[in-house]
Amino acid sequence: MIFGDKKLPSGIGFLAPKVPTFLCPFIGEKEKIGKRYLGKLYKKGGRYYCVANKKNASYITTKFDIKKNYQEEFKINPPPLSAYAFQINTKDTTGRTISFIESLTIYGD
């Protein structure tokens, strides 16, 4: 989930583009459910949250408190949600995967 339009640096100069702040729920293989992670890039504006792992990943229903997580990380109210993006990372993982979103519901305040 990408917020607003103010872009922050990747941390490696021009080799990766500047992007707005983002929260990224993900399905991990070894990561702890509910834990927040920082990536190698976008440490100023990107946060990753494990919402499921290999043990429980056959069908997932996730409730993710966008406003609470954003406020905890960036100490401000989130700007408008400006985009959704989906990423598949296969580094250091095994097997095959298929993913889909059956439904997505966003509730306001």
Q: Number of folded domains in the chain?
A: 1
Using CA atoms, how far apart are residues 67 and 56, in angstroms rounded to an integer? 25
Burial class (CB in 10 A: 0-12, 13-18, 19+), 66: middle
Of 67, 13, 74, nearest to 47 (Cα)? 74
Residues in the chain: 109
pLDDT at 27 over 90: no
In a domain, 51, yes or no: yes
In a domain, 99, yes or no: no
Classify 4 as helix, strand or coil: strand
In a domain, 89, yes or no: no
pTM above 0.85, yes or no: no
In a domain, 15, yes or no: yes
Using CA atoms, how far apart are residues 22 and 79, in angstroms rounded to an integer? 10
Domain span at residue 74 reads: 2-83
In a domain, 53, yes or no: yes
User: pLDDT per residue over 48-106, tens digit each?
Assistant: 999 888 765 567 788 889 999 999 999 999 999 999 877 766 566 666 666 777 888 87
Classify 69 as helix, strand or coil: helix
In a domain, 71, yes or no: yes
In a domain, 95, yes or no: no
Residue corresponding to tokens 């993900």: 26
pLDDT on residue 67: 93
In a domain, 52, yes or no: yes
Name the phi and psi angles at 17, rounded to 5: -70, 155
